[in-house]
Amino acid sequence: MEQRVHTVLGSGEHRYRVVENWAKLPESWQLTDVASVAVDSKDRVYVFNRGDHPMIVFDRDGNFLKSWGEGLFARAHGLHVDADDNLYCTDDGDHTVRKSSTDGKVLLTIGLPHKPALYMSGEPFHRCTHTALSPSGEIYVSDGYGNARVHKFAPDGKLIASWGEPGSDPGQFNIVHNIATDADGFVYVADRENHRVQVFDGNGRYETQWNNLHRPCALCCCGGRRPTFIIGELGPGMAVNLKVPNLGPRLTIVDAKGKRIARLGGEDGPGLETGKFLAPHGIALDSRGDIYVGEVGVTNWKTSFPDSEMPAEVRRHRCLQKLEKIAG
């Protein structure tokens, strides 16, 4: 009997087996772009995507459970799940954050649907991108494409504070694309086009920054008092460096000080081959340490492959990948 060979990424304690075609979609369904992904306390995987069914839910084996959000969301972008399994859905198409139950009931809306703040005004929101929670439940929102700000809200949605402005100095941003927090209340911001992650205290005071990244796009804090972080790097976006090696797309794992401890993929650019990435945009972990990677391969296709037609398999299979952690 022929033994199947699995593709393995990473090294040492950070080795992962690529699970091919993990998501078992209903017939004729497709994901289009998976902007973000989250995992709840029961290891159910929530896939926030830009297709006809914005929120698709799977079990950890990839079996389809349900979908919701049809007609509600304009353009999926960010997804975060809290300790009570509430979902924070960031929609950059209608400039809102919606807190929802696991079956799609909207519990809180922050922002006015389809009424953006003025471009670069600093007021919430103009194409907000993601959320994170403080240890005491305050809501941080990265904002985003049409602003250069982080906003802090009370749990009931009342604005507490904002910080940031356009630029490249400490505390300034050039596409605030993702945000995460740790158990000590520090705030980590993926400052995508400045090629860095900036670190702040819970009130927005600049602490430090992590460099040696290329267009950090996804950001996941892996918990605990000494957390590690997984950063999804989008890869080159300009013709001049499109074919340059070692720029991604890839996943980079760093410690709590930003020191790189592992890197998954990205040596020779994007691709459809197993073990390669197209455009990592959202990352989540389950209770066993397996990584789920949402990719915006459809949106990013013409950037990465300007002279190639996009295969149908990108929509059905390559906008979501599972990397299974190898024990030991």
pLDDT digit string (tens) for the chain, length 328 residues: 444 568 999 988 899 999 988 999 999 998 889 999 999 999 999 999 999 999 999 999 999 999 999 999 999 999 999 999 999 999 999 999 999 999 999 999 999 999 999 999 999 999 999 999 999 999 999 999 999 999 999 999 999 999 999 999 999 999 999 999 999 999 999 999 999 999 999 999 999 999 999 999 999 999 777 899 999 999 998 889 988 999 989 999 999 999 999 999 999 899 989 999 999 999 999 999 999 999 999 999 988 898 899 988 887 768 999 999 998 6
The two tokens of residue 139 are 């809501």
Where does 8-325 sit in CATH, by number?
Answer: 2.120.10.30
CA 324 to chain centre: 18
What is the spatial distance between Cα 206 and Cα 196, in angstroms, rounded to a whole number? 13
Pair 125, 143: CB distance under 8 Å:
yes
Instruction: Indicate the domain borders of the chain.
Output: 8-325
Q: What is the pTM of this model?
A: 0.96
51: preceding bond cis by omega (within 30 degrees): no
